[in-house]
Amino acid sequence: MSSLYLARNPRVAARSLDGEMMIMSGRDSTLFTLNKTATVLWQFADGATPLDQIVERRICSRFDVEPAEALQDAETLARELASREILQLSEEPILPRNPVAGEPR
Amino acid sequence: MSSLLEEVSAKALKLNIPLSVQLDLTYRCNERCVHCYLDHDDHGEMTTTEIKHLLDEMADAGVFILTLSGGEIFLRKDFFELLEHARRLMFCVKLKTNAVLIREREAARLRDLAVESIQVSIYSHRPEVHDAITLIPGSLQRSLNAIRFLKSQGLKVIIANVLMTQNMQDYPGVRALAEELGVECTLDPTVTPMMDGNRFTVNLGVDQSALRQVFRDASLVGDVNEFCAIPAKPSENELESTPCSAGHTACYVSPYGEVFPCVQFPLPTGNVRRQRFVDIWRYSIQMREVRSIRVKDLTTCTSCTHVSSCTRCPGLAYMEGNMRGPSSQDCEKSFARTGVPSANMLEKKRAGINLVQIRVLPNMARPAA
């Protein structure tokens, strides 16, 4: 299976509220809140770390879950977030094209 | 408000997070609107470095919605540098501007920086009326050109129309113009006193009969009977609730670094040039006092028929002398809606009768010459 890379979409607005991310879509100003797993994906979606590494290092170490199952769930979640233009996905590392690509707080 | 936004706001209130901040970058302006509440001279605006530092502090404090306003924001030469910094910190950025300085290039940059919305003040669809309010000939045409540039970039534009005696008859024209341009439109019948408390601008506001007309326009308020109905008695929960978001989940920062509960609530609570933003937000005595007020604590208003539906602004009440007291402008609005005088209006009327009696009595007591 090829690696999948995730990057935060620089067009969204985002802020952490009590450990969960609030995200406002840059497309239509829809507001989303991310659950704890999705928040982890968002925080480590730097465009350079493949999804399997994020799952192994950041999700399996925190949540009581089987690695293969966790990876499958994370990929489904990442694709869902990408369909809402919250994350960008690629099979290649994603270089920041936008000079103001945001940092999560 | 969407239910998720309500949920997020409730969480922010519980955690004492300033979810939303309006930051005025400058009070300088290229228009001279007759109703403006600001002193347009520069008394020492924050520098680029100071504002960037403040934005860092606000992001760390949890601020999510950042409204950049003024004065005219595009008069700051560093405006785009500040906006880039704000977006790098992932704020949801809303802009308020007269848009006179926005051309294709500026509109394209705003699109690239993914600004959430741009609110543009338009007072009339007729140049002779709009320009007589801004006191700048040609200003309507320039603002409308800018709205078209912004729309062509796919940006969300909101026309803000303040209702005054001067433009009272033109709001349907502004709404039609907004529809033609494909943008949202808001109408505000409140003219704010000057920041220094001077109330001459308030005289430009519309009178009772105009308010009654606006509040009975179904295209604005929806169901007129429902909107103008006399409200039910407040529940215990409503009496325990907070009057508005000012100081609770929102605040305002002036170009000089002063922090207030709201742009319309000029109670000084601290200055970010001397203190950390988050410390002012959490620990300022004034901010905590504002935060302590519940609807049940309001003087006069708790006994008022309108208490559960009134748009009472604590900032306007503060400018009248008591942040727990009534705001006369909102009393006027409640009266225009329901036809029932507010407790404050009745109290003033009684006081007026007493004053007449006091004036008359000495004359009556004077011995005949």
ipTM for the predicted complex = 0.88
Q: How close, in Å, is residue B80 to chain A by CA atoms?
A: 12
Instruction: Give the one of B2, B62, B84 whose C-beta lies nearest to A17's C-beta.
Output: B62
Residue B180 tokens, joined: 């033609």
pLDDT at B108: 97
Instruction: Give the one of A22, A100, A104 whose C-beta lies nearest to B84's C-beta.
Output: A100
| Residues of chain A neighbouring B91 (CB-CB closer than 8 A) | 13, 15
Check A99 against B84: CB less than 8 A apart: yes
Residue carrying structure tokens 């409140």: B190
Instruction: Give the one of B2, B15, B90 whose C-beta lies nearest to A102's C-beta.
Output: B90
| Residues of chain A neighbouring B59 (CB-CB closer than 8 A) | 15, 105
Q: How far is CA B18 from CA A27, B118, B220, B241, B264, in A?
A: 25, 22, 31, 18, 17
Q: Does B237 touch chain A (CB under 8 A)?
A: no
CB B311: neighbour CB atoms within 10 A? 14
Q: Which residues of A touch B (CB under 8 A)?
A: 10-18, 22, 24, 26, 29, 31-33, 98-105
Alpha helices in chain B (DSSP H): 3-15, 48-61, 79-88, 104-112, 127-134, 139-152, 171-181, 208-215, 218-221, 224-227, 236-240, 277-283, 285-292, 314-319, 328-338, 343-365
Query: What is the total residue count of chain B?
Result: 369
Q: What's the CA gap between B127 and B144, in Å, rounded?
A: 11
Check B88 against A101: CB less than 8 A apart: yes
Q: Does B113 touch chain A (CB under 8 A)?
A: yes
pLDDT at B157: 98
Q: Does B87 touch chain A (CB under 8 A)?
A: yes
Q: Is B134 exposed, middle or buried (0-12, 13-18, 19+ CB in 10 A)?
A: buried
Helix (H, G, I), strand (E, B) or coil at B96: strand
A26: nearest CA partner in chain B: B114
DSSP letter (8 states) at residue B43: S
Q: How far is CA B315 from CA A39, B211, B245, B260, B310, in A?
A: 38, 21, 11, 10, 14
Q: How far is CA A15 from CA A91, B20, B116, B312, in A?
A: 27, 12, 15, 31
The contacts of residue B331 (CB under 8 Å, 6+ apart) are B306, B310, B341, B342, B344, B345
Q: Is the pLDDT at A99 greater than 90, yes or no? A: no
Q: Is the pLDDT at A58 greater than 60, yes or no? A: yes
Check B89 against A102: CB less than 8 A apart: yes
| Residues of chain A neighbouring B112 (CB-CB closer than 8 A) | 98
What is the DSSP annotation of B252-294? Answer: EE-TTSEEESBTTB----EETTTS-HHHHHHH-HHHHHHHH--
Q: What's the CA gap between A46 and A99, in Å, rounded?
A: 14
Q: Is the pLDDT at A44 greater than 50, yes or no? A: yes
Strand B184-188 and strand B157-162: the pairing is parallel
∠ CA B65-B70-B75, nearest 5°, is 115
Q: How close, in Å, is residue B37 to chain A by CA atoms?
A: 31
pLDDT in tens, chain B (369 residues): 678 889 999 999 999 999 999 999 999 999 999 999 998 999 999 999 999 999 999 999 999 999 999 999 999 999 999 999 999 999 999 999 999 999 999 999 999 999 999 999 999 999 999 999 999 999 999 999 999 999 999 999 999 999 999 999 999 999 999 999 999 999 999 998 888 878 889 999 999 999 999 999 999 999 999 999 999 998 988 899 888 899 999 999 999 999 999 999 999 999 999 999 999 999 999 999 999 999 999 989 999 999 989 999 999 999 999 999 999 999 999 999 999 999 999 998 888 755 544 444 444 444 443
pTM (2 d.p.): 0.91
| Residues of chain A neighbouring B156 (CB-CB closer than 8 A) | 29
pLDDT at A104: 61
pLDDT in tens, A75-91: 999 999 999 999 999 99
* Interface A-B: count of C-beta contacts within 8 A: 65
Most B-contacting residue of A8, A16, A17 (CB-CB within 10 A), to test interface: A17
Query: What is the total residue count of chain A?
Result: 105
Q: Does B62 touch chain A (CB under 8 A)?
A: yes
Instruction: Give the one of B8, B12, B87 whose C-beta lies nearest to A102's C-beta.
Output: B87
Q: Does B10 touch chain A (CB under 8 A)?
A: no
Instruction: Give the one of A12, A29, A102 whose C-beta lies nearest to B88's C-beta.
Output: A102
A33: nearest CA partner in chain B: B4
Q: Is the pLDDT at A2 greater than 80, yes or no? A: no
| Residues of chain A neighbouring B116 (CB-CB closer than 8 A) | 13, 24, 29
Q: How far is CA B3 from CA B6, B7, B63, B241, B250, in A?
A: 5, 6, 19, 18, 18
Residues 144-163 of B with CB under 8 A from A: 156
Q: How close, in Å, is residue A57 to chain B by CA atoms?
A: 25
Domains of chain A in start order, with CATH, are: 5-90 (3.90.930.60)
Q: Which amino acid is at B170?
A: D
Buried b (16+ CB within 10 A) or exposed e, B164-177: bebbbebbeebbeb
Higher-scoring residue by pLDDT: A51, B196: A51
Check A31 against B5: CB less than 8 A apart: yes
B12, B43 contact by CB (below 8 A): no
| Residues of chain A neighbouring B94 (CB-CB closer than 8 A) | none
pLDDT at B221: 93
